[in-house]
Structure 1
Amino acid sequence: MKKTEQKYQTYVQILKEELIPAMGCTEPISLAYGASLARKVLNHLPAKIVVEASGSIIKNVKSVIVPHTHHLKGIKAAVCAGIIGGNADKYLEVLSQIDEKTKEEIDQYIEKVDFEEHFLESSKVFDYIITVWNKKEYVKVRVSDSHMNVVCIEKNGEILQKEKSIIKEEKADRSLLDIEDIYDFIATVDLIDIQEILERQLDYNYAIACEGLNDNYGANIGKVLLKSFGKDVKNKAKAYAAAGSDARMNGCELPVVINSGSGNQGMTCSLPIFIYAQELKVSKEKMFRALALSNLVAIHEKSGIGTLSAYCGAVSAATGAGAGIAYLYDEDYQTVIHTIVNTLANVSGIVCDGAKASCAAKIASSVDAAILGYHMYKNGQEFKSGDGLVMEDVEATIQSVGRLGREGMKETNKEIIKMMIHE
């Protein structure tokens, strides 16, 4: 693929848009970002806050710890942290500058502020409105479709269309992604165009994985894997990816580099590639090409599923990792696509019931399935067209899984949300 081609430039831009830092689970962090923006425009400490959120936002915020909040969970914690200590200019690292004194201020503010949260009836799975008041003045911020896509800021009845804080996310066209061209791109890309963002992804995500293994977070899935099953490359790949999630879901105050709007997916895409690259002693160049392959495959799959779904994003991310691992072994295009199909045929039934400690276990299971999918094909085995969701080729299979996650699991998502909020 030539640098001058539209797809080349689009693929580079997609990686730049997707592989960005975030501190904490991205749904509560998005709420903190929106709240910080609202306070900035109001220019006063709000006495009253009303949050209206779509079901998938509620689901993904309910059970995960918000960083820099003394291990608090939920919408109120995320929003109040954004109000008191957030810096909207830091985007998804909005809470990164909170110190111990500010944590105490957040605790005090949570106790005294007039706070309401409501279910938002919306056609969008990712949608929330934060309205803040100080006496008779108010500001309303609405974020839809993705974590920083601010669609409206309203102050005292006036729509602030020219407000500098509004970020309209103009994204590169994800419909240009397909597996054959992704494979061509990673084989020909000039690494100078993408290496910096890939290095940052590995640096950040490996650091939080090590933190997850060195301390006590959640269910400690990473530690359990290493203690129970040893340190062979397959188990380490699963353990490090899981350990990053252990830490991130349970209050660790280190950033990660995300994929498809998710830190868990960013770690699942990257950490198995790093572990296998170390084991196989491949060149840095080969590692970065494998990492680009992993990320782009995951983004391609998740684009069809949507931002939030009842379909677990660890599956699409691990499928990318499986493709990248095959590339590290010097396998050809056919092996890569069969690894993808074999993985999707195995674990596409894992549901997303929000962000919390068990995400680490789902990551481990998904990475295991991806590695199995690779070894299946190397041993002459594959899932074939007509086997459930497996279609005539890799693109059709990805489309079928996308349809499952986007359309087929809508009612599943609704039922999960009802059960989580005890309706």
Structure 2
Amino acid sequence: MNKIELLELLHQEVVPALGCTEPVAVALSTATAAELVGGAIEKIEIIVNPSIYKNGMAVGIPGFKHVGLNYAAALGALLSNPKDKLQLFNKITDEISKKTIELIEKKLVIVTIDRSKEVLYIEAIIKTTEGTARCIIKNSHDNIFLIEKNGVLLSEQKELTILDNQLYKRLSDLKIEEIVRIIDSCTEEELLFMYDGVLMNTALADFGLSEQNKDGLGIAHSLKKLTKNDVLGDTLFSRIMVKVASASESRMSGCPYSAMSSAGSGNHGLTTIIPVVEFAKYMESEKIKLLRALAIAHTLNVYIKQFSGKLSATCGCGVAAATSASSAMVYLMNGSTNQMGKTIINMIANLTGMICDGGKIGCALKLATASNAAVMSAYLAYSDIVIPSSNGICASTPEDTVKNLGRVSKLGMQTTDKVILDIMLEKVMNNN
């Protein structure tokens, strides 16, 4: 992989998203289908893989008071604005909200789970007074794989998985030091787009801590109070925890601020960016150093996700995003690539057991915990402390440790993922 290819990958994987990416991806599928066919909506059918359902079940939708993929699907169909991609919720009005609720109350929206679909999968079928349309999103949240109108295929991609894409295959073959070497060759101008994420995610965190924000459970505000005494104190650890928790809690509650995502996830973007920004402030790093550290964090996040899976039973914010941020922290301390690899091993040894039980307000706690662990692991690695390869799933290299993580995440936790979803579905049934 060369510099041009890596920058292309970063431009693909670091994009703004308004709201949790699972509901907005479902909305994108219905918006695409609805725009194709036009007319008054008579029925909407949504078929998703288990992870999409799990991550979209309880998370807030910006500018809307209800949660659930059925509402997201109806909103997308009524908005019919696929050109806005993952920021399409920015057009929600009171009238759209009213019509959405009417569609749900009339039971015109059906959401089902296809457990045979292991990769990210969303299929939307819309029937209107003008005809029918179908849209399939696959492999990534904004990747429109197929569109069909009145039974006529309009476009379809070749059947490729993410790892079949040569850009991602080349990334997964790299070693950590090779990734760092490529990014170190990038100029400030080439990486300046990284700063958009700094501004966007910092604004989200600041909004969450503002007095005007009344959404969420008060997790970030409560943690903030603890920084004023000796429970947490005003430290680098506590500042990172509070800001990450604030941004996640606001986003999961459906606040009207966009987040810069990473590897298809807004929460990954928060965990990848905010801790690195706060650490750079603490280190008084130059702007080019921060930009490169952010590029390293995003690239490693995408790299780890190639092995752990786009959506899985392990918390990607912990095992991928926070791990990548931790490695970037070592970089900001001018640590060696060997030490950056050590913190990856430390993080995987520490957080691999953190499960993903869907997108929700409670993610704020997981992100705070993972970010705290990232700082700890970075300082340990910088002191050349690393969990030995004789321990658990750790290997002698960070690359092999990531591969072991992938085996646990993709193979070892399949039953775990099924049980998690079963528990969540039982709650839905009990509430109906």
Same fold (TM over 0.5): yes
2:211 is equivalent to residue 207 of structure 1: no
**CA offset at residue 273 of structure 1?**
1.1
Residue 3 of structure 1 is matched in structure 2 by: none
Secondary structure (helix, strand or coil) at the match of 2:359 reads coil
Deviation of the 1:270 alpha carbon: 0.4
2:187 to 190, 194, 201: 190
Letter in 2 for 1:216: K
- Alignment-derived partner of residue 218 in structure 1: 216
**Residues 1:100 and 2:94 aligned together:** yes
1:90-114: CA deviations, max 9, x gaps?
1101111223343333333433362
- Cα deviations by residue, 1:36-58 (Å, 9 ceiling, x for unpaired): 01110111121111112221111
1:283 corresponds in structure 2 to: 286
Q: How many residue pairs end up in the alignment? A: 412
Counterpart in 2 of 1:78?
A: 72
Secondary structure of the equivalent of 2:110? strand
Q: How far apart are the structure 1 equivalents of 2:113 and 2:313?
A: 18
SS of equivalent residue, structure 1 residue 173: helix
* Alignment correspondent of 2:392: 388
- TM-score normalized by the length of structure 1: 0.93
1:25 aligns with 2:20: yes
Match of 2:270 in 1: 267
SS of the equivalent of 2:254 reads coil
Partner AA of 1:175 in structure 2: K
Secondary structure of 1:298's counterpart equals helix
Q: 1:380 Cα shift?
A: 4.7
Shift, 1:330, TM fit: 1.7
1:377-404 superposed Cα distances (whole Å, 9 cap, x missing partner): 3445320112101112111001111221
Partner residue of 1:160?
154
Q: Which runs of structure 1 show a deviation greater than 4 angstroms over 4 or more consecutive aligned residues?
A: 168-172
Contact 2:271–2:367 under 8 Å retained in 1: yes
Question: Which residue identity does 2:50 align to in structure 1?
Answer: G
Shift of 1:421: 0.2
Give the 5 Å matches for 1:59-74.
59-69=54-64, 71-74=65-68
Kept in 1, the 8 Å contact 2:120–2:138? The answer is yes
SS at structure 2 position matched to 1:421: helix
1:345 maps onto 2:341 in alignment = no
Query: For the structure 1 residues 46 and 376, does the alpha-carbon distance in structure 2 shift closer, same or farther, using more than 3 Å as the test?
Result: same
Query: Which amino acid is 2:421 matched to?
Result: I
Distance 1:8 1:85 in 2: 39
Deviates more, 1:394-403 or 1:208-217: 208-217
Which residue is equivalent to 2:315?
312
CA contact (8 A) 1:86 1:95 kept: no
> Residue 58 of structure 1 aligns with which residue?
53
Is 2:131 the partner of 1:137?
yes
- Please tell me whether residue 362 in structure 1 is matched to residue 366 in structure 2: yes
Secondary structure of 1:48's match? strand
CA distance in 1, matches of 2:233, 2:165: 42
Partner AA of 1:226 in structure 2: K
Checking the alignment, whether the CA contact within 8 Å between 1:55 and 1:125 is kept in structure 2 is: no
Determine helix, strand or coil for the equivalent of 1:95.
helix
How far, CA to CA, are the matches of 1:122 and 1:396 in structure 2? 29
Could you state the TM-score of these two structures normalised by the residue count of structure 2? 0.91
Q: How large is the Cα RMSD of the aligned pairs? A: 2.0
Secondary structure of the 1:159 match is strand
Q: CA deviation at 1:171?
A: 5.6
Q: How does 1:113-152 map to 2 (within 5 A)?
A: 114-135=108-129, 137-152=131-146
For residues 244-302 of structure 1, the C-alpha deviation after alignment (integer angstroms, 9 at most, x for no partner) is 11011001011111011100000100001111112222111111111111111111111
2:165 and 2:267 mapped to 1: Cα distance? 21
Q: Where does structure 2 lack aligned partners over 5 or more consecutive residues?
A: 227-231
Q: Is the CA contact 2:20–2:252 (under 8 Å) kept in the aligned structure 1?
A: yes
Residue 304 (structure 2) aligns with:
301
